[in-house]
Structure 1
Amino acid sequence: MSRTTKVNPSNNATTTSSPTDDEISQSSSSLTTSTELKDQCSNAGLSNKNLSTVSPDLTTSEYIAEQRAKTRDIVLGLQNKNIKLIAIDFDNTFLSTHTHGYYKGTADSLLPYIRPVFQYFIQELLASSAFSRTLHVCFVSFSPQEKLIKKLLRLAFTTSKTDQIIIRCSTPEFVANMKADYPGKECHLLSVVTEIDKKRKTRIARREILLLDDDPYNISTAERFGHRVLEIRDEISLDILKDFVYNKLPDS
């Protein structure tokens, strides 16, 4: 049985934990407004992505160039490891907060809560010549708010290429048409892989999928199914992601 890799950002050490068969534990649904969301993030000490600390030795443009260079290295490393599908969770992963699947505010009010690492990472993926050809991107979420995620991506990256990012949410239609009750994000991933096979004529093996998710259960389940995984924590950064890709991610 495979084991889950977790990155400790303080010393770049790794720890392992055995996968469990616990049932998915989801918080009860709640109605979330933009004001409530801002209060939650403020109380949790979450910062606006535009207030990221810049080294005093670097100008803003130099800092951005440095981050983009790191991101290019990450994308190249993923290709060298033969990763073909990058699957990203939405709440507490792409975002630094949780919308609980019933967010009532506008998509633009969520922009400050996109983690900077994903702002750079997805921007570079969209710019890559491999995007939607040999390197595919999807969002897999238990939230039913597919339209919200789609609109947020368009606002965040201002390119029509975001329409090529496959979004698989637990909408009533998706849940009703699930042919099997797989654990974790496996139903979502299977649906995405099937769509890529049919529409883009590309077959993706289990080991060629990288899941980025904050939930340990989803991570351990994905690893048991043969996928590559990285558990996302609040400390996630481009440095941590690059170290994972080059030093901890197995070859596919």
Structure 2
Amino acid sequence: MGSSASKEDGSPSPDEDDKRSDSSSCAHYLDHLISIGVRLVVLDFDSTIIDVHTSGRWKESAKSLSKHVRPVFLALMKAVIEQKGLYLAIATQSPQTDLIRKVLKERLPFHHKEIVIKGEDRTWERVDGIPKGGKQQHIEAVKRELDEKCHVQFSSNEILLIDDDFINVGIALSYDFKAITFEKDESIEKILNLTRESAKINADK
């Protein structure tokens, strides 16, 4: 039996067109990130990567939660991991980091181990002198792990945070990070425009 992915006339199906469009948009976005000096992309999980908020109390399976991963972030995460010189992390207030890892394994089976996850699971120590608000402590823990494992360091303006919480984003911006507030159903193009605005804020300081 032939695949149903293409139309009978041999032209791409809408799903194939969408995948090609996502791939092209992500490539364009990564080009922009590199051009503005971003080397570490940090994503929030609840209401950002996924389209629900678990409140750190998800009781169903990782497979069921994996169905809530937004296609835009699935494409973006894969593209970032595959881009040489870029690193990817998740900073979350959820203590369910094992669950998050399983969700990533469901959707990114060949890439999930390359994503650093820092949540409220008491597996890492806070750092004196780093703000306790927002995601600053989480990001500092990410930086420490990547330094230990990959021998790479990052300055503040080489880090991009994407989060649905504008307070977290505001705190990150105040410490010279690049940061954008994600809102429901935004496309790669919209995220690109927001990232450009964040870079301008960074440059004007």
Q: TM-score range by the shorter chain?
A: 0.7 to 0.9
Aligned length: 189
Q: Is the 8 A contact 1:166 1:192 kept in 2?
A: yes
- Report the counterpart of residue 70 of structure 2 in structure 1: 115
The share of aligned pairs that are identical, in percent, is: 23
Alignment of 1:236-251 (within 5 A): 236-246=186-196, 249-250=199-200
Q: What TM-score do the two structures reach when normalised by structure 1?
A: 0.70
Partners of 1:165 and 1:203 lie apart in 2 by: 16
Amino acid at match of 1:154: K
Residue 162 (structure 2) pairs with residue 199 (structure 1) = no
Partners of 2:92 and 2:15 lie apart in 1 by: 34
Q: Deviations over 1:101-134 (max 9, x none)?
A: 0111100101221112101111212222x1xxx2
RMSD: 1.9
Partners of 2:142 and 2:104 lie apart in 1 by: 18
Following TM superposition, the consecutive aligned residue runs of length 4 or more in structure 1 with deviations greater than 6 angstroms are none
Q: Is the 8 A contact 1:126 1:162 kept in 2?
A: no
* CA drift at 1:86: 0.4
* CA drift at 1:94: 0.7
Q: What TM-score do the two structures reach when normalised by structure 2?
A: 0.85
- Report the counterpart of residue 179 of structure 1 in structure 2: 127
Alignment of 1:72-91 (within 5 A): 72-91=27-46
Partners of 1:240 and 1:101 lie apart in 2 by: 28
Q: Is the 8 A contact 2:160 2:178 kept in 1?
A: yes
Residue 98 (structure 2) pairs with residue 147 (structure 1) = yes
Change (3 A) 1:178 1:64: same
The higher-RCO structure (CA 8 Å, 6+ apart) is 1
Unaligned runs of 5+ in 1: 1-56
Q: Is the 8 A contact 1:206 1:226 kept in 2?
A: yes
Unaligned runs of 5+ in 2: 1-11
Change (3 A) 1:248 1:58: farther
- Report the counterpart of residue 212 of structure 1 in structure 2: 162
Amino acid at match of 1:249: A
Amino acid at match of 1:178: R
